[in-house]
Structure 1
């Protein structure tokens, strides 16, 4: 089924089309009607199968811009995933002028409180920080009528059960709960029954359908870096994530790749949040083709161009085996999940086999010939990658974000900006998107390719009797 064939708000379908999605995935087809009907859901779907859009579209469908504060709360196991969900909500809700705020630890509370002063309709956050806001009273808990718990299995694995139950205790007005997990374990079922007893289970999409090839290589611990370079030199992937088990190993491996003149980024839980966000942004924009990551930091990586997910260190947690594999094969593209297996990993391999329910094939012997013979060819490949980096472009090419150096401190309100914009010939309310008024300045989305017209018109006019500087926004 194609998106254009479903009964959904035209502005949401327009956003979906702009993002390049044409056909619904299995999980999207199954979730949409039940979600729109207000049913409680426990959904199982492989990563990369489109479950975020599956639960966001119905929520956006029944949300109006007039709502001042959030009616939807989405819990996620990591900062990266919370930010990713927020970005997808904003992208899908752009034409309806709907906005989500992300709440997570290690970001200053005052920054989040400032963000929450402007109109927003959803919250995406990690349990600890969301609970903190609920206790402070900075979330209007009476307004929350929809609760979404994403990657339930990961939240439980990370010990968030008690925090989730406490959060639910703060939300008396929840009418619908949707939970999603890559695997439905007994623990996941138990949580679902305690949170939303009358839920419906939806299972969709197997890994085989996602075209993920799974390969194990027998490698001695001392030869692992040589094996990694053999893969890089021989296969020359255009996008690859390299998993390690600790932040210390992440830093060491990244340094070794730099010393070997391999373009790579790193991301782990010990980095400053702004550095993690910058690394993720550069990776998603294909500025750098390879990322060394720990499991914690890699949650929420949704990059469609990834060709290989390599477990340089065999995962300690059996659930991580599945989640690492799910970093490739996104949106039904082909991908390879490769695992290095040393003599020290045999016990972990048996545990994972019991967990996934099948026995792995005998690990292959590593071919080190590319390490010896293809270094120069890889250098040329890497140079070509650098030269062919895509030019930066907006996902929504018809939307322009403007900045005005006037906000709440100058008593500027969204309605004042709308009034001035509508006085410009050729600009109507339909051309005005999300307006975010902060203390010192304001950001405005101009829709329908009217950005240049709006910019010129605002530069020639006063807003609320004040001559303010108006320019293209540097903030994303």
Structure 2
């Protein structure tokens, strides 16, 4: 049986994608990826893109937008070309790898060569890959600029440029880099921009570099992750966070969960605390080496880790299909960040759960999120039990005793006898150590 007949036979049950008029190799690849029919963004964007239209797509991560711009790219590429014909800009190295993986799956029957380029990886290896020839370059703005300035990345053959998660790149300070890269591309090209939100700076960039773009707006409910159940728990004070999250995880037993924290230290300490409570948890943040981050992500995808505790920056662009729960350990300040965070669950029609911890003075912020996203966040019924005992804060702990000691010794001789400064210092250290032993080990919530 010829390869063409085999592909046609395997497409018998496909519904929807064949109506988009794409080639048989892509239909087979889409089937292998598990798509039975196009998502909303794919159904609208692909026909427009195949006609060569510039596109502004407002859709979140997980809506299937990689396939939405990937299929038009595959249709346009001349596999005989030695130079890149498509460039995809993404905010993070993790997303660069994920997008390349998806494009590799799409192009596996077509011999399409893709290359992720990002900081933290050997630039010499990337230069060698570019020299050997690639069809699609997916990368972060900083590293792509580096290759342009070195002359190792030729853009004169580029037919399609894609800005994926443009608002995230704006948040990370890449607006000037995006401007520079777009200015170096051929004037005659197709440009597609995808973003969950549309800040004014992104609109200005689209007006400058796009020609009569067609707007593809996924419904408001879809952008607001309508497949997600949104809940919250009001906690009395910050030290209740760990106790509340531990109780929530024990109650719901999520299949895979991502917990968002504001800081790297909080991510490390929370992951450590969860491991002490028998949970498989790892932290993901910018202080980890690229190798370590890749290892953590691989373990999470393989479900060897149950809980991923991540900072916002490290988690941007994460695309993992089976995440059942997203937990906001620290509630984000911006409603749009809430949409991005919770978009990691409820992927492509699957149900998901988003749970947030809110302090009393953050209840107004929850209302802002509800209005922005067009959702209802219901209160979670959860008994968190007794909070750990309060301990003196760092700024006050022990200083009252030290000040009394200073006052007692003020004006006395600083030489010899019991007033010897070194002996006094040793005595104070000994007293402090004894007090610390009496208080016992610091509870995990102290630095969360």
2:195 is the alignment partner of 1:178: no
The residue number in structure 2 matching 1:93 is: 107
Distance 2:96 2:238 in 1: 35
The residue number in structure 2 matching 1:44 is: 58
- Aligned to 1:123, the other structure's residue is in SS state strand
Task: Indicate if the aligned counterparts of 1:40 and 1:177 stay in contact, CA closer than 8 A.
Answer: yes
Distance 1:241 1:263 in 2: 12
- The CA deviation at 1:112 is 1.5
- Aligned to 1:243, the other structure's residue is in SS state strand
Task: Indicate if the aligned counterparts of 1:254 and 1:265 stay in contact, CA closer than 8 A.
Answer: yes
- Aligned to 2:95, the other structure's residue is in SS state helix
Distance 1:359 1:95 in 2: 41
Deviations 1:79-129 (A, max 9, x none): 111111111111111110102111111212112113323331001111111
- Aligned to 1:225, the other structure's residue is in SS state helix
The residue number in structure 2 matching 1:226 is: 243
The residue number in structure 1 matching 2:270 is: 253
Distance 2:227 2:239 in 1: 32
- Aligned to 2:340, the other structure's residue is in SS state helix
Task: Indicate if the aligned counterparts of 2:248 and 2:382 stay in contact, CA closer than 8 A.
Answer: no
- Aligned CA-pair RMSD: 2.2
- Aligned to 2:66, the other structure's residue is in SS state helix
Residue of 282, 297, 303 corresponding to 2:314: 297
2:343 is the alignment partner of 1:326: yes
Distance 1:291 1:139 in 2: 35
Indicate how the Cα distance of structure 1 residues 234 and 364 shifts in structure 2: closer, same or farther if over 3 A, else same. closer
Residue of 384, 390, 398 corresponding to 1:368: 384
Distance 2:368 2:226 in 1: 24
Residue of 23, 29, 44 corresponding to 2:37: 23
Residue of 214, 223, 226 corresponding to 2:230: 214
- The CA deviation at 1:141 is 1.5
- The CA deviation at 1:358 is 5.2
- Aligned to 1:48, the other structure's residue is in SS state coil
Distance 2:43 2:350 in 1: 19
Indicate how the Cα distance of structure 1 residues 357 and 8 shifts in structure 2: closer, same or farther if over 3 A, else same. closer
- The CA deviation at 1:6 is 3.1
Distance 1:350 1:319 in 2: 13
The residue number in structure 2 matching 1:266 is: 283
Q: Give ranges in structure 2 of 5+ residues lacking alignment.
A: 1-14, 388-448
Deviations 1:39-67 (A, max 9, x none): 11101123321111000011101213212
2:317 is the alignment partner of 1:276: no
Distance 2:204 2:107 in 1: 33
Deviations 1:173-193 (A, max 9, x none): 451100001122333322211
2:101 is the alignment partner of 1:84: no
Task: Indicate if the aligned counterparts of 1:147 and 1:174 stay in contact, CA closer than 8 A.
Answer: no
Distance 2:386 2:211 in 1: 56
2:217 is the alignment partner of 1:203: yes
Indicate how the Cα distance of structure 1 residues 211 and 136 shifts in structure 2: closer, same or farther if over 3 A, else same. same
Task: Indicate if the aligned counterparts of 1:78 and 1:300 stay in contact, CA closer than 8 A.
Answer: yes
Task: Indicate if the aligned counterparts of 1:64 and 1:98 stay in contact, CA closer than 8 A.
Answer: no
Q: TM-score, normalised by structure 1?
A: 0.74
The residue number in structure 2 matching 1:389 is: none
- Aligned to 2:156, the other structure's residue is in SS state helix
- The CA deviation at 1:300 is 2.3
Matches within 5 A, 1:303-452: 303-343=320-360, 345-346=362-363, 348-349=365-366, 352=369, 356=372, 363-364=379-380, 366-368=382-384
Task: Indicate if the aligned counterparts of 1:264 and 1:291 stay in contact, CA closer than 8 A.
Answer: yes
The residue number in structure 2 matching 1:162 is: 176
Higher helix share: 2
- The CA deviation at 1:4 is 3.5
Task: Indicate if the aligned counterparts of 1:45 and 1:51 stay in contact, CA closer than 8 A.
Answer: yes
The residue number in structure 1 matching 2:3 is: none
Matched pairs, number:
370
Distance 1:339 1:293 in 2: 15
Q: TM-score, normalised by structure 2?
A: 0.78
Structure exhibiting the larger radius of gyration computed from Cα positions:
2
